[in-house]
Amino acid sequence: NNKVDFSYNQLADPNFSFYDNTLVEAVKSEDHLVYLFFLCLSLCHTVMSEEKVEGELVYQAQSPDEGALVTATRNFGFVFCSRTSETITVIEMGKTRVYQLLAILDFSNERKRMSVVVRTPENRVMLFCKGADTIICELLHPSCASLSDVTMDHLDDFASEGLRTLMIAYRELDNAFFQTWIKKHSEACLTLEDRERKLAMVYEEVERDLMLLGATAIEDKLQSGVPETIVTLSKAKIKVWVLTGDKQETAVNIAYSCRIFKDEMDGVFIVEGTDRETVLQELRTARYKMKPESLLESDPINICLARKPKMPIRVLDEIPNGNYGLVISGYSLAYALEGNMELELVRTACMCKGVICCRMTPLQKAQVVDLVKRYKKVVTLAIGDGANDIGMIKGIGHEGMQAMLSSDFAFCRFRYLQRLLLVHGRWSYSRMCKFLSYFFYKNFAFTLVHFWYAFFNGFSAQTVYDTWFITCYNMIYTSLPVLGLSLFEKDVNETWSLCYPELYEPGQHNLYFNKKEFIKGLMHGIYSSFVLFFVPMGTIFNSERSDGKDISDFQSFSLLVQTTLIWVMTMQIALRTNSWTLISHTFTWGSLGLYFCVLFFLYSDGLCLRFPSTFHFLGVARNNLSQPQMWLCLVLSTVLCMIPVIGYNFLKPLLWPVNVDKVLNRIHFCLKHPLPPPVQTKVKHPGLRRSAYAFSHKQGFGDLITSGKTLKSSAFMKKQEVL
Amino acid sequence: MTWSASARGAHQPDNTAFTQQRLPAWQPLLSAGITLPLFFCAGLAFIGLGLGLFYSSNGIKELEYDYTGNPGTGNCSLCAAEGQGRAPPPNCSCAWYFSLPELFPGPVYLYYELSNFYQNNRRYGVSRDDAQLSGLASALRHPANECAPYQYSATGLPIAPCGAIANSLFNDSFSLWHQRQPGGSYVEVPLDRTAIAWWTDYHVKFRNPPLVNGSLALAFRGTAPPPNWHRPVYELSPDPNNTGFINQDFVVWMRTAALPTFRKLYARIRQGNYSAGLPRGAYRVNITYNYPVSAFGGHKLIILSNISWMGGKNPFLGIAYLVVGSLCILMGFVMLVVYIRYQDQDDDDNDDE
């Protein structure tokens, strides 16, 4: 196939390539319908043109589709030149013609179409309409029936290739009819109450008996790495739901090409009922097929529901008997989201591997996200690119701001998501959990020593430590190692966490820090404080130095306990550190060194004599740290505090293995026996990259144009909705 | 992810190993091959060390005598009964007789031990003025508020040394007599009462206020001794290097104990014939019984002890090391068994997959 030569057209966009010569021939032969088809495309849009440099037209389109269509039209010789609020200038095959813009019947999510009414230079009033096929074909004049059938076949073909389709139609308006209509239109425009509805009614009056001109289909290249990313995410047990405004066929197609649906699936349920009962029946049938016992009264969830029907409940995960997919359309979803059907929807949908909701309104997207959050108590990640995804991202139904402004993260490729979640998200989670549990532990161990000491000091609230130690403990002595841990800790490196998405799972189940882990930290803290108090106590009880002088004084005891504490904490953080960088070494051992430096400074003669009522511990460090029993006590306590941790870490994966342990085991095995690391298998996807997206037009631009204000461009890249 | 230098965004971090978290890292792994030998080695080392500690602690000889004077426990009970409910208690002496069948190897140290005495009570522990004790003239006249109610005497004079710790200074005294032959006369064993405090305390931390006209008494003029004291602080000892705030008994006492039962060094026996220890024979310890303990249910003990390389008799460390060592080995065996038992299972699982 050769590229079409657009050299006959001076204004053609050189970047545009087209491969079908028959269409060009049709244009050149000045076929009337082809003429109208392109005329419609060059008139019926909300694109703004700009001529920054003489002779170079630049289009600014609010949706990339419109931009693409107007650019294509331009290449075929119907160049949209400029517009004012009342006129549109088009160069038709070299001839400049000015059309009077009489009305723009703007796009809206409900109407799913837009029309313009223009007066041609020949003084004919024409209405040009483009819109979603389902809508347009209902508005067609009966005489177009045969053409419509052919077109519908074509549209099905297009949709199955994942193309985004539009239908184009026109109607010539009788002048008298138009005059009465435009009056009604301006009245409706000026109404203060219920303006939207009245306008819609006025629009419907004129948008009927349309003559079909044809259809367009636009291919959007799927970003690279989308199927791979989705496969990786689903391996990480992240369930992907597609919420889209697309046609069902398009959506299902995308789902297959993105590997959300797979050919080897046991079945795909399609819910497309148009009334309550049918939808309910369809959902139940699907669930019966996946897990027959879930419909019985003896099912635990049913029992639970029967007991407290109105409570906000958490629906537990149910295991289906295979891999299934679910497709539900917006119409059916409207019923499924009604009060008592919600639960049916959640239970059925959550058993499926992939869920596609198509033909959705933005509000429904938000509702679905909210539904899952409410019943499953899970973390949801809403990804979208356009204004109609904002509601879903924010969880509430407000539109109007850019998606990026309301999002937490913005990035320019879908495939970056896997690195964001599996590498950075995972690191961040494990670091945060390690930080938290260590922080609780170190303060439990630090504080609870006083509990034991209270029994030996007459419950007089005597602190075990030197006041300066208490001041410095959290801020100076133990802050840097845990900071280093929470900045640089990696239990496995990025290659492995991308190779084994299963490693992401603990975060989903909150395994690294939860009530149980907190209690574990508390118990460990209690144990450590017990060791930290009683071992030094036993050591100094009635004990003397090797020169006979006693060292059972309070200050020596303080010093012993606090030095032991610092050692224990250092060893504990060392045990929790998996990856030792230069910084971890510096922070961990440096903090320990810093402790001794600060200690000798605070207990030095000069400082204590200069401020005798502030620094009381003169000479304690020198007198005690030279004693062997002090170091023996220190080693003993440190080892006693480490034994249970090492033992637990050793025994836990053997006795109570979770998936992650097995994966880690395998990784460590691979590291020890340096086989070539498993190459990440590329997911095979069809050579033709197909994609189709929601009808991405937005409301309000028509008003903007007729009001004469400048249209600001807003370019949105891509869209994929994943839940 | 590679970024070309030209495409760098304004907020993009530098592409360094540090900012991109690619620092070379050492990833040690506590695998079975390391953990198990570690436990066994640590266990053996601890048991070895524990045995050493236990035997060296056991080798230390200790002789102790409770002279609190509970009824029927020797002649100190008379003193205890006499002092019952009287403040200040009357001067009273009693004695402890013991005999050594063989040489008590030296150097021998004489300690006193108090029990149920909460020197670590918070309010007691802060009731002192370290500035005053460090010889600051201003602090001598203006004791710290922490010393209250032992800050100023009834007549309004500043108390030196102020505070509850100083006020409760231990004031029993001991002398040791040796009877070489049965029926022979008792010879006094010289007790070295110097250098019983920490070097840093005696030389650095505690200092007398500057002498006035060469006299310590004048330096302390205008101050009152603590209410329980019978003599002012500058008369604690006739030795000018051992009186005032640097009196060694006082310095030892001021280093408050961590636990309610504590012992403090009273004297060292290292002079003359006794430098090698106490030879066999009968001994008598004359005790000046002043310090009342019955009010708080305490006990007073006198202890003779020698020491080893790791200090005085304290079996705790030795036993603790033995216990922890055995624990390590036990734990090592448990882990070994679990490892052998479950490792195979793991392998099977892996094979199944």
DSSP result, B109-173: EEEEEEES--TT-HHHHT-S-HHHHTT-HHHHHS--GGGTTSSB-TTSPBBSS-SHHHHT----E
Residues of B with Cβ-Cβ distance to A649 under 8 angstroms: 30
Amino acid letter for position A66 = E
Give the model's confidence band at A521: pLDDT under 50 very low, under 70 low, under 90 confident, else very high: very high
Residue A698 has pLDDT above 70, yes or no: no
Residues of A with Cβ-Cβ distance to B257 under 8 angstroms: 552-554
Residues of A with Cβ-Cβ distance to B200 under 8 angstroms: 605, 618-619, 622-623
What is the per-residue pLDDT for B348? 54
Residue A328 has pLDDT above 80, yes or no: yes
Q: Do A460 and B321 touch (CB under 8 A)?
A: no
Which CATH number is correct for A21-219, 3.30.450.20, 3.90.1640.10, 3.40.1110.10, 3.40.190.10? 3.40.1110.10
* 3-state secondary structure (DSSP) of residue B268: strand
Q: What domain range is B315 assigned to?
A: 37-60+310-335
Give the model's confidence band at B343: pLDDT under 50 very low, under 70 low, under 90 confident, else very high: confident
Question: How confident is the model over B277-299, as a mean pLDDT?
Answer: 90
What is the per-residue pLDDT for A404? 57
pLDDT, tens only, A10-49: 777 777 777 778 888 888 888 888 889 999 989 988 888 8
Q: Report chain A's mean pLDDT, rounded to a whole number.
A: 82
B201 shares its domain with B295: yes
Residue B268 falls within a domain, yes or no?
Answer: yes
Calculate helix-pair angle for B32-58, A628-655, nearest 10 degrees: 150
| Most confident region among A37-51, A140-154, A437-451, A483-497 by mean pLDDT | A437-451
Residue A538 is labelled as binding a ligand: no
What is the C-alpha R_g of chain A? 36
B211 shares its domain with B329: no
What is the per-residue pLDDT for A681? 52
Give the model's confidence band at B5: pLDDT under 50 very low, under 70 low, under 90 confident, else very high: very low
Residue A162 has pLDDT above 70, yes or no: no
* Whether B165 contacts B253, CB under 8 Å: yes
Closest CA of chain B from A581, distance in Å: 4
Q: Do A639 and B144 touch (CB under 8 A)?
A: no
B50 shares its domain with B188: no
Q: Tell me what percent of the residues of chain A surpass a pLDDT of 90.
A: 27
Q: How distant is the alpha carbon of residue A8 from its chain centre?
A: 47
Query: How many angstroms separate the CA atoms of B270 and A548, rounded?
Result: 12
Q: Do B258 and A556 touch (CB under 8 A)?
A: yes
What is the per-residue pLDDT for A682? 45
Residues of A with Cβ-Cβ distance to B19 under 8 angstroms: none
Mutate to test the interface with A, among B39, B115, B316, B326 (most CBs of A within 10 A): B316
Residue A208 is labelled as binding a ligand: no
Domain count, chain B: 2
Closest CA of chain B from A648, distance in Å: 10
Among the partner residues B196, B198, B268, nearest to A623 by beta-carbon distance: B198
| Most confident region among A144-148, A394-398, A710-714 by mean pLDDT | A144-148
Give the model's confidence band at B260: pLDDT under 50 very low, under 70 low, under 90 confident, else very high: very high
Q: Do A461 and B122 touch (CB under 8 A)?
A: yes
What is the per-residue pLDDT for B191? 92
Among the partner residues A558, A622, A651, nearest to B338 by beta-carbon distance: A651
More confident site: A386 or B25: B25
B188 shares its domain with B47: no
Question: How confident is the model over A684-697, as a mean pLDDT?
Answer: 35
Q: Do B29 and A668 touch (CB under 8 A)?
A: yes
Among the partner residues A579, A583, A646, nearest to B27 by beta-carbon distance: A579
* Whether A633 contacts B317, CB under 8 Å: yes
What is the per-residue pLDDT for B353? 40
Q: Tell me what percent of the residues of chain A surpass a pLDDT of 70.
A: 87
What is the per-residue pLDDT for A711? 37
Amino acid letter for position A222 = L
Q: Do B317 and A622 touch (CB under 8 A)?
A: no
What is the per-residue pLDDT for A455? 94
B125 shares its domain with B46: no
Q: Do A650 and B32 touch (CB under 8 A)?
A: yes
B47 shares its domain with B155: no
User: Which tokens belong to A35?
Assistant: 């003429």
Residues contacting B36, CB < 8 A, separation 6+: B332, B335, B336, B339
Q: Do A549 and B197 touch (CB under 8 A)?
A: yes
Question: How confident is the model over A536-550, as a mean pLDDT?
Answer: 89
Q: Do B259 and A632 touch (CB under 8 A)?
A: no
Query: How many angstroms separate the CA atoms of A405 and A401, rounded?
Result: 7
User: Which tokens belong to B214?
Assistant: 């060469």
Number of H helices and E strands in chain B, helices first, is 10, 10
* 3-state secondary structure (DSSP) of residue A52: strand
End-to-end CA distance of chain B: 32
Among the partner residues B21, B118, B262, nearest to A488 by beta-carbon distance: B21
Residue A164 is labelled as binding a ligand: yes
* 3-state secondary structure (DSSP) of residue B190: coil
Distances (CA, A) of A314 to A298, A343, A378, A507, B184: 18, 10, 10, 19, 94
Residues of B with Cβ-Cβ distance to A552 under 8 angstroms: 257-259, 262-263
Closest CA of chain A from B31, distance in Å: 8
Residues of A with Cβ-Cβ distance to B1 under 8 angstroms: 419
Q: Which residue has the tokens 């961590």?
A: B258
Q: Do A458 and B136 touch (CB under 8 A)?
A: no
Which H/E stretch holds residue A357? strand A354-358
Find the residue in A nearest to B110 (Cα). Answer: A548
Other Cβ atoms less than 10 A from the Cβ of B166: the count is 26
Q: Do A552 and B338 touch (CB under 8 A)?
A: no
Among the partner residues B205, B314, B324, nearest to A541 by beta-carbon distance: B314
Find the residue in B nearest to A617 (Cα). Answer: B205
Per the rule left: phi > 0, alpha: psi between -120 and 50, beta: everything else, A400 is left
User: Which tokens belong to A229?
Assistant: 């990313």
Residue B324 falls within a domain, yes or no?
Answer: yes
Residue B67 has pLDDT above 60, yes or no: yes
Residue A66 is labelled as binding a ligand: yes
- A–B: how many Cβ contacts below 8 A? 215
What is the per-residue pLDDT for A401? 46
Closest CA of chain A from B200, distance in Å: 6
Residue A687 has pLDDT above 80, yes or no: no
Which residues sit opposite B192 in a β-bridge? Answer: B268
Residues of B with Cβ-Cβ distance to A544 under 8 angstroms: 109, 111, 263, 265, 305, 307, 311-312
Residues of A with Cβ-Cβ distance to B307 under 8 angstroms: 544, 546-548
pLDDT, tens only, B202-243: 999 999 999 998 899 999 989 999 999 988 999 998 888 899
What is the per-residue pLDDT for B30? 82
Residue A525 has pLDDT above 90, yes or no: yes
More confident site: A16 or A601: A601
Q: Do A553 and B257 touch (CB under 8 A)?
A: yes
Question: How confident is the model over A310-339, as a mean pLDDT?
Answer: 81
Phi and psi, residue A684, nearest 5°: -75, 135
Residues of A with Cβ-Cβ distance to B201 under 8 angstroms: 618-619
More confident site: B320 or A112: B320
Closest CA of chain B from A420, distance in Å: 12
Query: How many angstroms separate the CA atoms of A235 and A259, rounded?
Result: 12
Residue A605 is labelled as binding a ligand: no
Residues of A with Cβ-Cβ distance to B255 under 8 angstroms: 553, 555
What is the per-residue pLDDT for A710? 43
Whether the pTM exceeds 0.95: the reply is no
User: Which tokens belong to A519?
Assistant: 């209690």
Among the partner residues A460, A632, A646, nearest to B35 by beta-carbon distance: A646
B50 shares its domain with B152: no
B110 shares its domain with B173: yes
Residue B341 falls within a domain, yes or no?
Answer: no
Closest CA of chain B from A650, distance in Å: 8
Start-end of CATH 3.40.1110.10 domains in chain A: 21-219
Q: Do A639 and B349 touch (CB under 8 A)?
A: no
What is the per-residue pLDDT for A403? 55
Closest CA of chain A from B286, distance in Å: 22
What is the per-residue pLDDT for A700? 63
Among the partner residues A463, A535, A579, nearest to B25 by beta-carbon distance: A579
Residues of A with Cβ-Cβ distance to B258 under 8 angstroms: 537, 540, 552-554, 556-558
Residue A678 has pLDDT above 60, yes or no: no
Q: Do A542 and B119 touch (CB under 8 A)?
A: no
B125 shares its domain with B216: yes
What is the per-residue pLDDT for B1? 39
B275 shares its domain with B322: no
Question: How confident is the model over A259-285, as a mean pLDDT?
Answer: 85
Amino acid letter for position A204 = E
Question: How confident is the model over A500-516, as a mean pLDDT?
Answer: 88
Which H/E stretch holds residue A101? strand A95-105
Give the model's confidence band at B21: pLDDT under 50 very low, under 70 low, under 90 confident, else very high: confident
Give the model's confidence band at A137: pLDDT under 50 very low, under 70 low, under 90 confident, else very high: confident
pLDDT, tens only, B160-189: 899 999 999 998 999 999 998 888 889 999
Among the partner residues B38, B196, B311, nearest to A629 by beta-carbon distance: B311
Give the model's confidence band at B69: pLDDT under 50 very low, under 70 low, under 90 confident, else very high: confident
Q: Do B321 and A636 touch (CB under 8 A)?
A: yes
By CB neighbour count within 10 A (0-12 exposed, 13-18 middle, 19+ buried), where does A376 fall? middle
Calculate helix-pair angle for A554-576, A426-454, nearest 10 degrees: 160
pLDDT, tens only, A564-586: 999 999 999 999 999 999 999 99
Give the model's confidence band at B325: pLDDT under 50 very low, under 70 low, under 90 confident, else very high: very high
Residue A130 is labelled as binding a ligand: yes
B216 shares its domain with B328: no
Residue A98 has pLDDT above 50, yes or no: yes
B77 shares its domain with B209: yes
Q: Do A554 and B32 touch (CB under 8 A)?
A: no
Residue A246 is labelled as binding a ligand: yes
Among the partner residues B23, B35, B144, nearest to A613 by beta-carbon distance: B144
Residues of A with Cβ-Cβ distance to B198 under 8 angstroms: 549, 619, 623
Residue B101 falls within a domain, yes or no?
Answer: yes
